[in-house]
Amino acid sequence: MPTNLRDHLATNDAEPALADLIVTVVDTCSEISALVRRGALGEIMGALESENVQGEVQKKLDVISNDMLLQRCAASAGLVAMASEEMDDIHPVRDLTPKGGYLLLFDPLDGSSNIDVNVSIGTIFSILPAPMADAPRPAALADFLQKGRAQVAAGYVVYGPQTTLVLTLGDGVHAFTLDPDTGDWLQTSAGITIPPETKEYAINASNLRHWAPAVRGYVEVCLAGETGPRGKNFNMRWIASMVADVHRIMMRGGVFLYPWDAREPERAGKLRLMYEANPMSLLVEQAGGAAFDGHGAILDAEVTDLHQRISVMLGSRAEVAHIERLHQSA
Which residues are annotated as part of the binding site for Mg(2+)? 85, 107, 109-110, 276
What's the pLDDT score for residue 116? Answer: 79
C-alpha span between 181 and 191 (Å, rounded) = 26
C-alpha span between 278 and 260 (Å, rounded) = 17
| 178 and 220 part of one domain | no
| 123 and 163 part of one domain | yes
Q: Which one-letter DSSP state was computed for residue 6?
A: H
Of 155, 189, 223, the residue at which a domain comes to its end is: 189
Q: For the chain, what is the domain count?
A: 2
Neighbours of 263 (CB within 10 A): 9
| 204 and 185 part of one domain | no
Please give the model's pTM, rounded to 2 decimal places.
Answer: 0.95
The contacts of residue 224 (CB under 8 Å, 6+ apart) are 230
Output the tens digit of pLDDT for each of the chain's 330 residues: 679 999 999 988 889 999 999 999 999 999 999 998 887 776 666 666 565 666 566 778 889 999 999 999 999 999 999 999 999 999 999 999 998 899 999 999 998 778 778 889 999 999 999 999 888 999 999 999 999 999 999 999 999 999 999 999 999 999 999 999 999 999 999 999 999 999 999 999 999 999 999 999 999 999 999 999 999 999 999 998 999 999 999 999 999 999 999 999 999 999 999 999 999 999 999 999 999 999 999 999 999 999 999 999 999 999 999 999 999 997
Task: Report yes or no on 297 lying in a domain.
Answer: yes
List C-alpha distances in Å: 222 to 191, 215, 251.
Answer: 30, 11, 21
Which residues are annotated as part of the binding site? 85, 107, 109-113, 204, 270, 276
Max intra-chain CA distance, the chain? 66
| 49 and 135 part of one domain | yes
The contacts of residue 19 (CB under 8 Å, 6+ apart) are 6, 9, 10
pLDDT digits (tens, 9 = 90+) for 64-77: 999 999 999 999 99
Identify the CATH number of the domain in which residue 215 sits.
Answer: 3.40.190.80
List C-alpha distances in Å: 214 to 198, 202, 219, 267, 324.
Answer: 19, 16, 9, 17, 9
- What is the identity of the amino acid at 11? T
Of 189, 215, 239, the residue at which a domain comes to its end is: 189
| 149 and 211 part of one domain | no
| 94 and 211 part of one domain | no
| 64 and 156 part of one domain | yes
| 164 and 269 part of one domain | no
| 161 and 218 part of one domain | no
Which residues are annotated as part of the binding site for substrate? 110-113, 204, 270
| 55 and 176 part of one domain | yes
